């Protein structure tokens, strides 16, 4: 079960990933989720929520080591996908 401070945020992340139907890059996922969540989460709270979803096995993370994008800190070239 998600922690109370991230449970609503976790649901927004899951809903967005489910609707996307494809892997979403971390910085883009944060941008989209921040636009949907009320109030918008800090980057740290967002990363905690997605890390928790990965640990629960509800979301898969893929790291693209050779991707050359300049995502703002603290984001890295990671992709998230919803697992059914």
CATH of the domain at 70: 1.10.10.10
Q: Which residues span the domain enclosing 9?
A: 4-82
| C-alpha pair distances (Å), 79 with each of 22, 27, 44, 52, 61 | 9, 9, 17, 15, 6
Q: Does residue 14 carry a pLDDT above 50?
A: yes
pLDDT at residue number 3: 44
Indicate the DSSP class of residue 73.
T
Counted domains in the chain: 1
For residue 16, what is the enclosing H or E element? helix 4-20
In this predicted model, what pLDDT tens digit does every residue of 17-71 receive, in sequence order? Answer: 999 999 999 999 999 999 998 889 999 999 999 999 999 999 999 988 776 778 8
Q: Which residues contact 66 (CB under 8 A, 6 or more apart)?
A: none
Q: Model confidence at 6, in pLDDT bands (50, 70, 90)? A: low
Could you give the 3-state DSSP secondary structure of residue 66? coil
Q: Are 32 and 80 in contact (CB under 8 A)?
A: no
């Amino acid at each position: 079960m998600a922690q109370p401070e991230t449970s609503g945020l976790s649901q927004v992340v899951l809903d967005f990933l489910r609707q996307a139907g494809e892997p979403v890059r971390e910085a883009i996922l944060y941008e989209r989720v921040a636009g949907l969540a009320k109030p918008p989460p800090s980057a740290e709270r967002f990363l905690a929520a997605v890390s928790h979803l990965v640990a629960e096995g509800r979301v898969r993370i893929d790291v693209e080591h050779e991707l050359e994008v300049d995502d703002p800190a603290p984001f890295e070239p990671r992709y998230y996908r919803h697992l059914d």
